[in-house]
Amino acid sequence: MSELSVNHLLGIKYLKEQDIQLIFETADHFKEVINRSIKKVPSLRDINIANIFFENSTRTKLSFELAEKRLSADVINFSAGQSSVKKGETLIDTVNNILSMKVDMVVMRHPNPGAGIFLSRHVKAAIINAGDGAHEHPTQALLDSFSIREKFGDVAGKNVVIVGDILHSRVALSNIFALKLLGANVKVCGPKTLIPKYIESLGVEVETNLRKALNWCDVANMLRIQNERLDISYFPTTREYTQQYGVNKALLNSLDKEIVIMHPGPINRGVEITSDVADSKQSIILNQVENGVAIRMAVIYLLAAKIK
């Protein structure tokens, strides 16, 4: 397979396994590029990309911008906070105004689930979903699976537990889709109030006991509590959540085997993981950040190849 089966990256659920493998193989090449002394390639010299973020972002926005610049694309950055959206302009009008400046690709983060899908039906540009509400965050799932592949050689057959606020997490949903597609065994772990009712229909198991989950897994992906999305109280106190579902070094050391710790960021140190876990040799959190640039370069490069 030499090209993607899709024209946009709207979510993992629209990809085939071959798409993911192609993205990984392309990312392998770009990982070599970003570790060279000259980190730039002229692959997308004639491509214009707009980064449109309707929600706050640090890592994702920087990672996409760096990926675009490493590929020599021309980049426009748009922040909704300082834009005409505040004056009542619609999403389509905003994007069409940007596209009239001859933009080929749009990277968008939006608080509403499905915003990228809606946009892809109304504008003539390749759309990359950089997170839509509590729906999907496809590039995060791709870089997480890529990091597992890098660590173990393959994702298939690995036991992965996703711990924390599954209910409000776009990272959890995209990770479940990607890991299942690649043949991993997936469990979710957290308070019952933060686990969606439908979750088992996605082929994952629910484990409410953290120690059991950690003893079962090869990889634990620790999610933060999405405080900005909590409209009601889902657990008594943060301290109680940490006692039940926080990972510290003493807990890691008491397990039957050594496991790998991941986190999509931002980390709430002392809540879901302690500093000595985040900074330990079992953690591949900074590898994830580095792999994020390579994966996003791969996605942008492969989608640009499909722009007519």
Residues making up the annotated binding site for carbamoyl phosphate are 59-60, 109, 137, 140, 265-266
Amino acid present at 223: L
Phi, psi of 262, deg, nearest 5: -125, 160
Residue 86 per-residue DSSP state: G
- In the 8-state DSSP scheme, what is residue 269? B
CA 285 to chain centre: 13
Rounded to whole angstroms, what are the CA distances from 80 to 48, 95, 132, 186? 19, 11, 14, 36
Which residues on adjacent β-strands are paired with residue 126?
105
Chain centre to alpha carbon of residue 119: 20
List residues forming the annotated binding site.
59-60, 87, 109, 137, 140, 170, 224, 265-266
Spatial distance between the Cα atoms of 248 and 77, rounded to a whole number of angstroms? 39
Q: What is the rounded CA–CA span in Å between residue 171 and residue 10?
A: 13
